[in-house]
A and B are shown apart, each in its own frame.
Chain A
């Protein structure tokens, strides 16, 4: 009799946690999307008011465009840099462990630290990047001051932070390529580039897609970097969607509206990831 209950006791913390922190909030947020609420006074039903407001909220659409802009710059950079470094490390190199550990360092360090560091690198007057540009006779760049550049700067920083992780994933992928493929190609007289293009790339396609999905999910949660560096500016050019949702909730106390944005945004994320996964499955056939 005791035995029968035991598994349920063991899984009960998870069930409780799931109900409180997943099932309830999802259902509750669905209810909240039809209400106006500042968390203190009672909830007020307002029908589709939040949804109508969302579709007319220029700032929200701008934050979505900003987020996609980030992804479009970040993902290709991420793949190119991490694949290149992984390919170099895969060449029978000495001190491989050291290089790998160095690349990985920013991955384990808090995003807050990384952001503070890059804020200095991007500094207009005495930042390292502008000092280098000036010393080779170019003019200074407003890395975080120019609205057309700021999001790109943040995407560059995010790439630097995560490259180490994807180098490891690509190294795992590269090791699945059977060495005799390369040997055969060498006998045929293939150049290094030809080998990379015709053997490596097709073989590590699954890893590339995994990196795309992971950095998409990561990019959709962009928050602390603009929060610290720019506060979403200049001219809202780095206002990410999560930052906007945060501001709606904790600067303006529009809980109902903020939850509506979060709900819509989460569905959008799921949609994008599902499309990406579908595309991969097709590619694998």
Chain B
């Protein structure tokens, strides 16, 4: 019994350690600027001041839209293209299939540090700097998503595909109309991971986006934080951090199990 109480106490302390900073961030962003420095639990009054300041100081609305567009299109691209590749690898016989499979495994182990700068050069040479294409295209295909789809399609009985073929379905319709309803958990897993990774990505936008009107949320918040513009404006910085964190936190509230499963499976895969 004593042991149980000890464990509960430790677990509660631990969860407070993880939750309190986020609580503090939200409360502090709503506190008067002068109180943020010494705030522990609750300010004397709440105000939207930091948020109104933020909207007048940084083009956060545009950045938010850029992030939504980037993350949505990246996710759509990953689901479309990686499922096609995964299907071919799982259900079709063709020369070079093994080779492609090994290439995919190989790219998983390749450190991104080697391709980072050359990929930037490619973007410059293709004239894609400061475009959505630069933010989206490099992330539209990835080894993990392809392997997830491959695995999902492998569990589907061949009879289902043969039946659809006899009915005259094209291969594309087989993938997207006949098979997709059968692999929804995989689609959700891949979708959540792609959206989250794209939403949180910061190094790549810092490299390929210079124009303020094309910046994504994490990039905008980062540059505001390090640019010295935020020196005396902790409230604005925290408000921007809240706007950056909230969409993913809300999605996490709804799809918590899927988030945890997705991340864990991507960890185990590597």
Contact = CB atoms under 8 A, between A and B. Distances in A.
B118 A85 contact: no
Interface string B192-221: 000010011011001100000000011001
Contact of B264 (A117, A165, A224): A165
Contact of A11 (B11, B88, B118, B252): B88
Interface stretch (A58-66, A72-80, A264-272): A264-272
A190 interface: no
B245 A110 contact: yes
Interface of A: 4, 6-8, 10-11, 13-15, 17-18, 20-22, 24-26, 28-29, 32, 39, 85, 88-89, 91, 93, 98-113, 116-121, 125-126, 128, 160, 163-165, 168-169, 172, 192, 210, 213-214, 217, 220-221, 223-224, 227-228, 231, 241-242, 245-246, 249-250, 255, 258-259, 262-263, 265-266, 269-270, 273
Contacts, number: 234
Interface string B1-25: 0011001101100110111011011
Nearest to B89: A11
B74 to A, nearest CB: 13
Contacts of A223: 203
A6 to B, nearest CB: 6
Contact of A17 (B93, B141, B264): B141
A10 B113 contact: no
Nearest to A231: B226
B222 A228 contact: yes
Contact of B268 (A17, A106, A120, A169): A169
Given A110-B244, A116-B241, A259-B118, A6 B92 contact: yes
Nearest to B110: A22
B18 A102 contact: yes
B37 interface: yes
Contacts of B268: 169, 172, 210
Interface stretch (B49-57, B156-164, B183-191, B255-263): B255-263
A25 B122 CA distance: 8
A29 B115 contact: yes
Contacts of B154: none
Contacts of A105: 18-19, 22, 249, 252
Given A110-B244, A245-B117, 20 more contacts: A13-B81, A24-B118, A25-B114, A88-B11, A98-B15, A108-B248, A112-B200, A112-B221, A113-B241, A113-B244, A113-B245, A120-B28, A120-B234, A125-B37, A160-B17, A220-B113, A221-B113, A227-B222, A250-B207, A265-B113
Given A15-B100, A24-B122, A112 B111 contact: no
Interface in B220-239: 221-222, 225-226, 234, 237-238
Given A21-B119, A262-B116, A109 B18 contact: no
A227 B225 CA distance: 10
Interface in B126-171: 138, 140-141, 146, 171
B85 A13 contact: yes
A7 B94 contact: yes
Contact of B245 (A109, A228, A265): A109
A162 to B, nearest CB: 10
A88 B120 contact: no
A228 B220 CA distance: 12
A210 B98 CA distance: 26
25 contacts: A7-B97, A14-B146, A17-B140, A21-B119, A89-B11, A93-B7, A103-B14, A103-B18, A104-B260, A107-B263, A108-B252, A110-B244, A110-B248, A119-B225, A128-B24, A163-B18, A220-B113, A221-B112, A224-B202, A224-B222, A255-B121, A262-B116, A266-B111, A269-B111, A273-B109
Nearest to B223: A228
**Which 10 A-B pairs give the minimum distances between C-beta atoms?**
A25-B118, A266-B114, A102-B15, A10-B88, A7-B94, A266-B111, A25-B115, A110-B200, A7-B92, A126-B37
B178 interface: no
Given A108-B263, A117-B241, A13 B84 contact: yes
Given A26-B114, A106-B18, A88 B7 contact: yes
A220 to B, nearest CB: 7
B270 to A, nearest CB: 6
B103 interface: yes
Contacts of A128: 24, 40
Nearest to B171: A6
A11 B146 CA distance: 10
B44 interface: no
Given A20-B122, A117-B21, A104 B270 contact: no
B42 interface: no
Contacts of B100: 11, 14-15
A20 B133 CA distance: 14
A11 B7 CA distance: 51
